[in-house]
Amino acid sequence: MAKLGNDGLAEVVAKYPKHFVGWSALLPMNAPEAAAKEAERALRNGANAIQLGTNANGIPLDAPQFLPIFEVIAKSSKPILLHPARTRDMPDYPTEKYSKYEICSVLGWPYETGVTLARLIFSGIMDRFPDLKVIAHHLGGVIPYLEGRVGHSFDQLGARTSDEDYGALLKSLKKRPFDYFKDFYGDTAVEGARAATVCGIDFFGADHVLFASDCPFDKEKGKGYIRDTIKVLDSLALSDDAREKIFFRNAQRLFGLS
């Protein structure tokens, strides 16, 4: 199925070059070895990115069986498009079985995006593959707003835990946790929220933010978020250089587009 899908995308992009500048591959994450092979095949076949969910059937991405996948992607120098994948089967309280009121996606998606970035750091995956490029949708999930906690709180990792030696883990990392978070990329898909856009660009910097809109999930089935996001970006005091990077140069560079 993944092969069919990925080959289909390659075909459509080749056929309609004026509509599509590239494509991103999906992997059969339920079969990690096959997923690594398919990643390799798709990238050789021209995939401009690999899209990964923030979990695979409920399993976090830092599970050992997924390591070969990261190895293949890191070698390719193409980015990961990290998309949230939480369902209501992940409850919000330990006494419940399901997440209620669609909280799992409205709030849970940006949360799980942030959690996954943290797990990629603390599991050692980012140290193992320092050139791995991860684009976290929705402007990094919750991370930019939690800049203070991601900085100061993770600097004290281990201070509040007694049964795991997180202090030793912290020391074993090659960088300050905060610096890994800053090295990730975000996209501007925050549904046209201006203050959040400013906060996210402040956190990642103009070199690490790519235009995106969350199309088609607005009431107009797509046009609304595209228009609102462009409007917000146009309203910011960005230099021409920063503006061009966010609107297309970062995408050209990361996805290998001309």
Q: Which residues of this chain interact with a copy of itself, rule CB under 8 A?
A: 55, 57-60, 88-90, 92-96, 100-103, 105-112, 114-115, 118-119, 122, 138, 142, 144-158, 160-161, 166, 169, 190-196, 198-200, 202-203, 214, 217-219
- 145 or 185: whose CB is closer to a copy of itself? 145
User: Residue with structure tokens 């970035």?
Assistant: 117
Nearer to a copy of itself, 109 or 184 (CB): 109
Report DSSP state, residue 47.
-
Edge to edge, what strands does the sheet with 134-136 contain?
Answer: 24-25, 49-53, 80-83, 134-136, 185-187, 209-210
Q: How far is the CB of 185 from a copy of itself (least distance, A)?
A: 17
Closest separation between CB of residue 114 and a copy of itself, Å? 5
CB of 202 to a copy of itself, least distance (A): 4
Nearer to a copy of itself, 57 or 258 (CB): 57
Closest-CA residue to 138 (of 177, 216, 84)? 84
Q: How far is the CB of 215 from a copy of itself (least distance, A)?
A: 12
CA distances from 37 to 2, 71, 134, 144, 220 (A): 11, 11, 20, 34, 39
> Which alpha helices (H) appear in 173-249, and where do they start and end?
177-183, 194-204, 223-235, 240-244
Min CB(189)–a copy of itself separation in Å: 9
Q: From the CB of 1, what's the least distance to a copy of itself, in Å? A: 23
Name the residue nearer to a copy of itself (CB basis): 145 or 211. Answer: 145
**Residues 189, 25: Cα–Cα separation, whole Å:** 20
Of 82 and 150, nearer to a copy of itself (C-beta) is 150
Shorter beta-carbon distance to a copy of itself: residue 20 or 128: 128
- Asked if 93 and 101 touch (Cβ cutoff 8 Å), the reply is no
d(CA 237, CA 239): 7
Tokens (6 digits) for 110? 């940006």
Cβ atoms of 48 and 81 within 8 Å: the answer is no
